[in-house]
Amino acid sequence: MTGASELRTRLDDRGAALPFIAIILVLLLGMAAFAVDLGWIYLSSSRVQRAADSAALAGVIHLPGDITGVNTHTVNGAQANGYDVGTLNGNPTGSGGADTLNWSQLDDNRLEVDLSSSIPTYFLRVLGFDAISIQRTATAEYIKPVPLGSPDPCFGIGNSGIEGEDCSPSPNQRFWAAVSGPYTNKFNGDAYSTRWWSSSGWSPPDNSNTEFRTNGYYLGIEVPAGVSDLDIDVYDAGFYDRGSFSFETGDRAQNTGGGADTHFQFYLFDQTPLDPTDNTAVLGCRFDINSGSSSSIYENDWVELCSLSNPPAGIYVIRIWTDGNDGGTNQYAVRATTDGGGNARVYGINDISIFTNQAGLSTLHVAEVDDAHAGKILELDFYDPGEDDQPAFMTVKMPNGATAQCDWEATNEAGTVVRSGSGNCRIQTSDGNSLFNGLWVRATIDIPSNYTCSDCWWKMEIENSQPHDRTTWKARIIGNPVHLTPNG
């Protein structure tokens, strides 16, 4: 009897373990199911984030004025990653898709995108979760062209006495905008509009300037939101030989004689603010002025180039170029007048061609470097700076007034480094003879990682005695021009 009782007890105990095993199996299967769905949710979240990133990067370059472009390209960016956006900023897109996208403009070059998608589950359906909603946010910005030369509604006000300048807050910028004719020698100071270069002075015109371009120069007209009227005027637009660099704008024939045939064209803003060469021309907003012609209209006077009503916010463009078979340098100024919405700004894009004809200490605006560029590298280039018959210097100043620290080098037409230095960015440009005639001087500046600014303009102090200097300047920030930024 004892043996039979023990056997029954063991059988009863074995039977009692079966419910526990079943419970453990259910728990293990549930955990496995949860692990599968958790992995699926993680993968889907990464996909939604990538789609939001793509939408933000695709849409941001259409700010601030092209709202249709922002709408179209944010949706395209999400759909290219497999998400069918059916609702954009609360409005149906017409696609019938289940995914939703919302965007908001944080600044005129920063865009925040929220993308939401509902993903199906697998094993979690047993627990009543048929789908999980995932929402991800991305913020993108683009780097605007580095504004050159002017913080004001005018560019190139070289004489405080010109009629009706109306370019507060600092109308006397102490330089003129300038462009040379194709057959002016490059070493006179215009690096890009001249076809030829000769270290010995005059030689027959040829195409020896490898940096020559037919496009000329570009100015940006940055228009804020809410402007009701925009008027663009040009001062002394044509070439009118003054016979002296020091008189009025200082237009003067050089090398081949004659003078520059000059052209001005106004363009709409577009989605590539770093590239002004592909903008759409505005019909009726163009001057074509042969050398010396129409002096009663243009000489020493402001003339309207273009007028727009209710212009969308954005960076519009003016192109200035010369052609023909003559030399000479044409000096001029540009202003933008607005009604409502605040002042526009007029500045150089990528590079500027300028002329100074005032002696003494001048402080010129070089480049506006926002504190978003902290920790990056600023490159400043100056062609043919500081011609003088007395000792002359140029000093790069940070927005706080401190002298910048830089490494600099000067290269000749063959690209060979002929001078260099480092430390305080105060560079002697003349010892009685020009030290950089026909040379490019590049100053490379490490922007401090703790760099901050309110007025973010870097400046150039020019110390000279000779009342004229023709130069070409350019600036760039080394870094990714369109990129993601932290949210918020």
Residues in the chain, total: 488
What is the distance between the alpha carbons of residues 7 and 1, in angstroms, rounded to a whole number?
10
DSSP 273-295: TT-GGGPPEEEEEEEEE-TT--H
Rounded to 5 degrees, what are φ and ψ at 282? -90, 120
pLDDT of 201 > 80? The answer is no
CB 56 within 8 A of CB 77: yes
C-alpha–C-alpha distance, residues 266 and 336, integer Å: 12
What's the pLDDT score for residue 417?
95
Residue 378: the pLDDT is: 94
What gap in Å lies between CA 270 and CA 211, rounded to an integer?
26
Going by pLDDT thresholds of 50, 70 and 90, the confidence category of residue 196 is confident
pLDDT of the residue at 125:
67
pLDDT attached to residue 379: 94
Q: From CA 52, how far away is CA 74, in angstroms rounded?
A: 8
- Mean pLDDT for all residues in the chain: 86
pLDDT higher than 70, residue 123: no
Report the phi/psi class of residue 282: left, alpha or beta, with left for phi > 0 and alpha for psi in -120 to 50: beta
pLDDT at site 160: 57
Please compute the mean of the pLDDT values over residues 128-141 and round it to a whole number.
Answer: 86
Q: What average pLDDT does the segment 291-305 reach? A: 94
Lowest mean pLDDT among 38-42, 268-272, 351-355: 38-42
For residue 305, pLDDT over 90 is answered with yes
Helix (H/G/I), strand (E/B), else coil: 81? coil
- Bigger pLDDT: 358 vs 485: 485
| Per-residue model confidence (pLDDT) at position 368 | 93
Residue 387 binned pLDDT confidence (cut-offs 50, 70, 90): confident
pLDDT per residue as tens digits for the range 14-65: 555 666 666 666 666 666 666 766 777 788 889 999 999 999 999 998 887 7
Residue 164 has pLDDT above 60, yes or no: no
Lowest mean pLDDT across 1-15, 19-33, 393-407, 452-466:
1-15
Q: With 70 as the cut, is the pLDDT of residue 360 above it?
A: no
B/e letters for 265-287, b = 16+ CB within 10 Å, e = fewer, are bbbbbbbebbebeebeebeebeb
- 363 beta partners: 461
**Angle (nearest 5°) at CA 138 between 135 and 140:** 165
Candidate CATH numbers 3.40.50, 3.90.1070, 2.10.110, 2.60.120; the one for domain 359-479: 2.60.120
> pTM for this one?
0.77
**pLDDT reported for residue 181:** 93
The domain limits of the chain are 20-142, 145-355, 359-479
pLDDT score at 361: 63
pLDDT (0 to 100) of residue 372: 79
- Range name among 80-89, 195-204, 283-292, 326-335 with the lowest pLDDT average: 195-204
Q: Of the spans 203-212, 299-308, 469-478, which averages the highest pLDDT?
A: 299-308
Average pLDDT, integer, range 401-428: 95
Q: 3-state DSSP: the chain helix, strand, coil percent, rounded to 5? A: 20, 40, 40
Helices 2-60 + 67-79 axis angle, to 10: 150
- Identify the sign of the CA torsion 405, 407, 412, 418: positive
Residue-level pLDDT at 3: 55
**Alpha-carbon separation of residue 100 from 50, 67, 94, 112, 193 (angstroms):** 15, 18, 12, 14, 51
202-231 pLDDT tens trace: 565 667 899 999 999 999 999 998 999 999
How far apart, in whole angstroms, are the C-alpha atoms of residue 101 and residue 116?
A: 6
Share of the chain above pLDDT 70, in %: 85
Least confident of 22-26, 111-115, 300-304, 305-309: 22-26
User: 450-466 b/e with 16+ CB inside 10 Å = b?
Assistant: ebebeebbbbbebbbeb
CA distance linking residue 376 with residue 181, whole number of Å? 36
Distance from C-alpha of 362 to C-alpha of 131, rounded to nearest angstrom = 68
- Is residue 174's pLDDT more than 70? yes
Per-residue pLDDT, 131: 76
